[in-house]
Amino acid sequence: MIIEVKVPSVGESVTSGVVSAWHKKSGEFVNEGEPLFALETDKVSTDIVAEKSGMLETKVPEGQEVKIGGVVAVIDDSKVQAGEKKAPEPKKTEKSQPKKKEESAGIKSEAEPEKKTVEKQEKPAPLKDRPLSPAVRRIVEEEHLESAKIHGTGMAGRLTKADVLTVAQDRKSVGEADSLPGTAAPSPTVHPKAEARFVRKKMSPLRRKIAQQLVMAQHTAAILTTFNECDMSAVQELRRSKQDEFTKKYGSKLGLMSFFVKAAVEGLKAVPVVNGRIEGDDFIQNNFYDIGVAVGTERGLVVPVVRDADKKSFADLERDIADFAARARDGKLKLEDLQGGTFTITNGGVYGSLFATPILNPPQSGILGMHKIMPRPVAVEAKVEVRPMMYLALSYDHRAIDGKEAVTFLIKVKECIEDPKKLPLDF
C-alpha cells in the first residue's frame, strides 16, 4: 500500500514551510516513528516522523517550499527492510527431483541443459544493472563512486557495503599520498572553480519572519532606549561561593540569566506598565510574568518563553533556560514555546557586545539588553576601583511608557543585581 507523506499543520497562521533537510534518503527503508525530514516555517523548525514503516520515495528536494497539506514523499509499506525477506525458494529442489528419478532409471534426459540454465542464472548480472542496497547507494552517491567499476563480492556479484567502503578508503589513501613530497600523482584531474563575486539564495522562512517583525516594530512603535550600568561583583561572588552546592543539589549550574530574569520580574512589579502592550486603541496590562529569553541559533534568533517566572525558583529557571537553548539549537522548539511572552531579555554579551540598542519583540512594550562584563575603573566611596561592569539597555515603546517609568524600571534591575539580597534567593 502506498502512503502519502503530507506536510502537517503546525499552527493556525502557518501556511507553508521549507523541507530544510531529509533525514532519510529516497529508496531507504524507514521505521514507524523515525524522523523523515525537518520542516522549517516562519515560526519554528520541527521534525516530521513516519506514520508507517516501509520504503521511502521522496517527491521534493531539500530547500523547496511546500504548502501545508502538500505531498512531499510516499511510503510503500508492502516492502520490508533489506535482510528480512527472500527466504530460500524451493524451485531448484523441485527441478532436481525428476532429474534424479530419470538418472536412476537409466533414461537419458535434458538434465544437462537445465544445469547450464541454472548456472547462467547464478552468473553475476551486468555491472550496470546490478541493484544496490540503500546503504551501498548512499555511500556510492556521497563518495561519487562508479559502481560499475567496483568488483562485487556479494551473492551473484552484488556490491556489499564493505566493497564500496574499501574503494572509498583506497581512493582517500591515494589522495593523501599524492599530497606527500616526492610522490607521483596518477593523472590528476583539475576542476577549475570560478569564484562568484556574490551568491544569491532565498532567505529562510524564519529569517524572513525575523525581518518582517523587526521592520514592523520600527514602523509601528515609538522605540526609545535608555541605558545604565551595573556592578556585577556581588552576583559573581555569590555564584562562586554557591556554585558547587547549587550544582550538586539541583543538577544544573547557577548562571547569570536567572538573576536577570528575577531582577526583571521585580522591575515589572515596581513599574507594571512595562509589562503591558498596546492593542489598537487599548492598553493591555498583564498581571503575569512570562519572560522571553532570546537564544541565538544558526538559523536566526528565537525567543522561547519562561512561563510564570515570578513563581519559579532559580533552579527551575536555569533548567528551563538550558532546555530551551538546547532545543532551539537542535531545531526542536514547539510553536507554543515561542508564544505569549510579556517581556523579553536578550544577552548580546555572550557574543562580545559591549553596547547596543535592542529592538522590541512585538507586541511587547519592553526589552532588556545585557552586555559583556568588562573590568573598568569606577568611583567607589571616593576611591577609584576596577570592578566588573555591565552596560544595561532598556528599549521601550514610548507610546505606552514614559521616560520616568523606563528609568525607574532600569534602576530597579540595577539595584537587584548589585545587591542580590533584594531578590527572592532560594538556594
Which residue, 76, 108, 124, sits at the end of a domain? 76
Q: Is residue 374 part of a domain?
A: yes
Q: Is residue 131 part of a domain?
A: no
Task: Report the pLDDT value the prediction gives residue 112, as an integer from 0 to 100.
Answer: 47
Look up 398 and say whether it is catalytic: yes
According to DSSP, residue 23 is labeled S
Do 291 and 262 form a contact (C-beta atoms < 8 A)? no
Which residue, 32, 60, 76, sits at the end of a domain? 76
Owning domain of residue 59:
2-76
Q: Is residue 353 part of a domain?
A: yes
Which residue, 30, 61, 76, sits at the end of a domain? 76
**Residue carrying C-alpha cell 542580590:** 420
When divided into structural domains, the chain yields a total of 2
pLDDT digits (tens), the chain, 427 positions: 888 999 887 665 567 888 888 988 888 999 988 889 888 776 677 788 888 899 999 998 988 888 888 999 999 988 766 555 544 555 544 444 444 444 444 444 444 444 444 444 445 455 555 667 666 777 777 777 877 778 777 666 777 767 777 777 767 555 544 444 444 444 444 444 556 788 888 777 777 777 888 888 889 899 999 999 999 999 999 999 999 999 999 999 999 999 999 999 999 999 999 999 999 999 999 999 999 999 988 777 889 999 999 999 999 999 999 999 998 888 788 878 988 999 999 999 999 999 999 999 989 999 999 999 999 999 999 999 999 999 999 999 999 999 999 999 999 999 999 999 999 999 8
What's the grid cell of residue 136? Answer: 551501498
Q: How far apart are CA 79 and CA 401, in angstroms?
A: 64
Q: Is residue 71 part of a domain?
A: yes
Q: Is residue 333 part of a domain?
A: yes
Distance of CA 324 to the CA centre of its chain: 12
List the one residue out of 415, 409, 412, 426 whose CA is nearest residue 258.
Answer: 426
Task: Report the pLDDT value the prediction gives residue 200, as an integer from 0 to 100.
Answer: 87
Look up 163 and say whether it is catalytic: no
Catalytic residue among 330, 402, 419, 426: 402
Q: How far apart are CA 164 and CA 130, in angstroms?
A: 14
What's the grid cell of residue 311? Answer: 513563581
Q: How many CB atoms lie within 10 A of CB 360?
A: 22
Q: Is residue 81 part of a domain?
A: no
